[in-house]
Amino acid sequence: MTWPDGSKYEGDWLNGKRNGSGTNNYSDGNIYTGIWVNDKRSGRGVLTWPDGKKYDGDWINDNISGRGFMTLFNGGRYEGDFVNGNRSGSGTNNYSDGSIYTGGWVNDKRSGRGVLTWPYGKKYDGNWIDEKISGRGVMTWPDGNRYEGDFADGNRSGSGTNNYTDGKIYRGSWMNDKESGRGEMTWPDGGKYEGDWLNGKRHGNGTNNYADGRIYTGCWMNDKRSGRGEMTWSDGDRYEGDWTDGKKHGSGTMHYAEGRIYTGSWMNDTRSGLGVMILSNGDKYDGHWLDNKRSGRGIFIWADGDRYDGDWVEGKRNGTGRMEYADGRAYTGDWINNKQSGHGVMAWPDGDRYEGDWANGKKNGSGAMQYADGRTYIGGWLNDSKSGRGVMIWPDGKTCDGDWIDDKASCTGTLCSVNCNICHDDFIYGHVVGCELKY
């Protein structure tokens, strides 16, 4: 039988209808060979399309329904159940890219339970909805990575456990294929984090137990300690305060295992800015810090009563400052490396007072010493002793002007009385030789 549109049928007929076996060549190029019932394809049959697509299987009332094989022009192949021309039921689809799916189908879409394997070794075994991985399932990767849990639209979403190839294990919430929500991560070295996650990073509040014994509880941002938090160390150290980018930064208090306590500013994990340090022996520093060292202006009070108020550099008294000693002395002036150096004034509780040059904590250079008994010495000094040219003035007006060595006059000089009767002679170690002093 041929039709005006070019179609042609050759095969069995009954009562004027195609019944039995026969081949129909359609005007669009399709060719069907198989069973016919009352002019409809029903039973076993093969349909080929001009583009190379081919179906070999069951037909019902002119529709592809039942078990069959479908091959596509690009090499894809399906074997399984069909309903009204669509893959529905259970079946296996071999894709042109090498992927293979075996499982449930609804209206030509993967739905229900199914297994998809990729040519490079990735595999999913679980639930599908409308062609997408959704529901409970297990995903494995060729590198050993494995996830078991909830999926949505092809991504890990919901709750699940991921075993990573490097030994990490995450148990908790997921969103859009990333750890998000509450969850717990363990590391192969023994480390463990439990808390909030966002986009695969520790973010929010949580506790991290580190392999080296440290424990941090507090705020996180983008996988780093940021915000308020507390860190304890295995040796007993403990910090509570602000963090930025994983470092102590802002204000906080550090309790050291040996007894020190620091409260103040931090920058990049170091004491920097204003802060107070109390030492285990009772000493206390209140002032500026830089890179864990006293730097800038600050006050140090020793447990024995000494007190320094002044400049610091690299943890030492450097610059200008005032030192008040427990024994009553007070020094105001210049300092270098914890010692009086430069110009300064020292006052003693008995009334003695020195103003002048210092070096290495001793009177060195030129200076004036006022003694409690009224004497005044003006001149040179060396290692706390009068040395060089100098004059001693007594309260009654006598003067001794000459050279000094080791705190004593030791060369030609002049001793003058108040009424200006002068005796010129030699002074040896403070004693006049060969002349009677006149007053």
Task: Say which CATH topology domain 8-362 has.
Answer: lipopolysaccharide transport protein A fold (2.60.450)
Residues 99-111 have pLDDT tens digits of 999 999 999 999 9
How would residue 343 be classed by pLDDT, with cut points 50, 70 and 90?
very high
Q: What is the mean pLDDT of residues 290-315?
A: 98
User: What is the residue-averaged pLDDT of the chain?
Assistant: 94
**pLDDT of the residue at 427:** 44
**pLDDT of the residue at 421:** 33
How would residue 423 be classed by pLDDT, with cut points 50, 70 and 90?
very low
AA letter at 15: N
Q: Is the pLDDT of residue 403 over 60?
A: yes
Distance of alpha carbon 367 from alpha carbon 384, whole angstroms: 11
Residues 122-147 have pLDDT tens digits of 999 999 999 999 999 999 999 999 99
**pLDDT of the residue at 409:** 84
Are 174 and 159 in contact by the 8 Å Cβ rule? The answer is yes
Q: What is the mean pLDDT of residues 253-268?
A: 98
Q: Is the pLDDT of residue 411 over 70?
A: no
Other beta carbons within 10 Å of 63: 16
Distance of alpha carbon 302 from alpha carbon 286, whole angstroms: 12
**List of residues 6+ apart from 139 with CB closer than 8 A:** 122, 123, 124, 126, 133, 146, 147, 148, 151, 156
Backbone phi, psi, residue 77, to 5°: -150, 135
**pLDDT of the residue at 439:** 25
Distance of alpha carbon 129 from alpha carbon 340, whole angstroms: 83
Are 68 and 82 in contact by the 8 Å Cβ rule? The answer is yes
Residue, of 415 and 13, whose pLDDT is higher: 13
Strand, helix or coil for residue 11: strand
Q: Which of 148-157, 256-265, 422-431 is predicted least confidently?
A: 422-431
Distance of alpha carbon 146 from alpha carbon 135, whole angstroms: 16
Residues 214-226 have pLDDT tens digits of 999 999 999 999 9
Task: Note the helical H segments in 197-350.
Answer: none
How would residue 72 be classed by pLDDT, with cut points 50, 70 and 90?
confident
**pLDDT of the residue at 83:** 97
Domain ranges of the chain: 8-362
Q: For a pLDDT cut of 70, what percent of the chain falls above it? A: 93
Q: What is the mean pLDDT of residues 33-60?
A: 97
pTM equals: 0.82
**pLDDT of the residue at 431:** 45
Residue, of 183 and 424, whose pLDDT is higher: 183
- CA torsion through residues 383, 360, 348, 396, sign: positive
Q: 431: which 2 tokens? A: 């004693």
Are 81 and 105 in contact by the 8 Å Cβ rule? The answer is yes
Residues 305-318 have pLDDT tens digits of 999 999 999 999 99
Size of the chain in residues: 439
